[in-house]
Amino acid sequence: MCMEFNLQQTDTKSAARAGLLQTDHGQIETPIFMPVGTAGTVKGVHFKELEKDIKAQIILGNTYHLYLRPGTNIIEQAGGLHKFIGWDKPILTDSGGYQVYSLTDIRKLKESGVTFQSHIDGSKHEFTPEKVIDIQRSIGADIIMAFDECTPYPCDYDYAKNSLGITHRWLKRCISHFEQTEPKYGFSQSFFPIVQGSTYTDLRNISAEFIAGQGADGNAIGGLSVGEPHEMMYEMTELVCNILPEDKPRYLMGVGTPANILESIALGVDMFDCVMPTRNGRNGMLFTSEGIINIKNKKWENDFSAIDPFGESFVDQQYSKAYVRHLFSAKEMLGGIIGSIHNLGFYLWLIAQARKHILEGDFATWKNVMVKKVSNRL
């Protein structure tokens, strides 16, 4: 385990931190948002746009999806995911625990692992902690995640407690297998365990203590943003952040809206991922520094101003609101492409601003203003 994380600044009025995370594929400035490239592509976006326009520093891949298609055999032949997709910056792979539960109809969880049927062709597969580590070795992400059970919301206490036991036992098996195996492509891989425990304070406490004790390069918080009220999500995040080691990056999985991200930075989170900017972008919801635009709305029909005059990506200046509305109205794919690039560019801009304000020492004040602005419906 050799990924380096250096804290540069911690905010005095919140738990927000700015840091630098060093991987063999380059440095990541935290806090950071990671665009989601589930099946080896951030939907509708070229990698050169991710790098140059959106200014992404790390992207996400998904073990479940990549294992089923194209399969580890093809990825290994290509020399790993970086080479297969043509992206030379860091990649993190989600372990597939979440997808096995959200995408497959027929699955069975046992102590040994999970058997499930592919959502693509119904074929039968088994994921065990060891196998998921092997797959992530083959994919070759810079950061690989533990295999866990992501509990739904609501989740009754007994289920959450039993599930947490399995997640922790699986974690020990993941770590043991991770330590017994080697990276395949000449660069190092780091392993992040995941805190679970649903919305129960005592379970989250137990889990955070257990995870903190593993000495991993970084630590993740899972099982949130699955339908629970925002205040409950913040409460759990705060509780967990207070226990997880200060000198390691903290990754809040699957979160969230621009406001969620700003609030969670204030609680001490360093890394985020979410499909929202691309999924909502494809559906015409644009996040901007002044608030949220539903570009399909008739009010934009003859608004020929730029979709975001303060945006830094090329789509922000090039296309007008009226034109993008027309694209959505005519169901033209360029609409979703523009929405995705704009939203990702906005997320990366917002988080870079957060980092700047942490470094400058006025994060908390700035955050309180921005949370209101970015939540505003235009």
Would you name the residues annotated as active-site residues? 94, 273
**What does the H/E/C string look like for 267-292?**
CCCCEEECCHHHHHHHCCEEEECCEE
Check if the beta carbon of residue 108 is closer than 8 Å to that of residue 172: no
Q: How far apart are the C-alpha atoms of 36 and 354, rounded to whole Å?
A: 20
- Judged by beta carbon, residue 1 or residue 333, the one nearer a second copy is 333
For a second copy, the closer of residues 41 and 368 by Cβ is 41
Strand, helix or coil for residue 124: strand
* Residue choice 70, 152, 183, 245 for contact with a second copy (CB under 8 A): 70
Smallest gap from residue 327 Cβ to a second copy (A): 6
Binding residue for a second copy (CB under 8 A) from 6, 77, 162, 376? 77
- Alpha carbon of residue 131 to chain centroid: 22
| Closer to a second copy by Cβ: residue 55 or 172 | 55
Q: Is 159 in the site for a second copy (CB under 8 A)?
A: no
Q: What are phi and psi of 140, to 5 degrees?
A: 80, 35
Indicate whether 104 belongs to the interface with a second copy (CB under 8 A): no
Q: Smallest distance from the beta carbon of 100 to a second copy, in angstroms?
A: 18
Q: Rounded to 5 degrees, what are φ and ψ at 53?
A: -95, -45
Interface residues for a second copy in 333-372 (CB under 8 A)? 333-334, 336-337
| Distance in angstroms (rounded) separating the CA atoms of residues 339 and 242 | 36
Q: Where would I find the H helices in the chain?
A: 47-52, 63-68, 72-78, 81-85, 97-103, 129-139, 157-180, 201-212, 230-243, 258-266, 276-282, 314-318, 321-329, 333-360, 363-375
- Shortest distance in whole angstroms from residue 105 CB to a second copy: 19
Query: Hey, which residues between 272 and 311 contact a second copy (CB under 8 A)?
Result: 301-302, 304
* Cβ atoms of residues 237 and 266 within 8 Å: no
* 45 scored as a contact of a second copy (CB under 8 A): yes
Residues 310-329 that bind a second copy (CB under 8 A): 314-315, 318-320, 322-323, 326-327, 329
Residues in contact with a second copy by CB under 8 A are: 39-41, 43-48, 65, 69-70, 74, 77-78, 83-86, 301-302, 304, 314-315, 318-320, 322-323, 326-327, 329-330, 332-334, 336-337
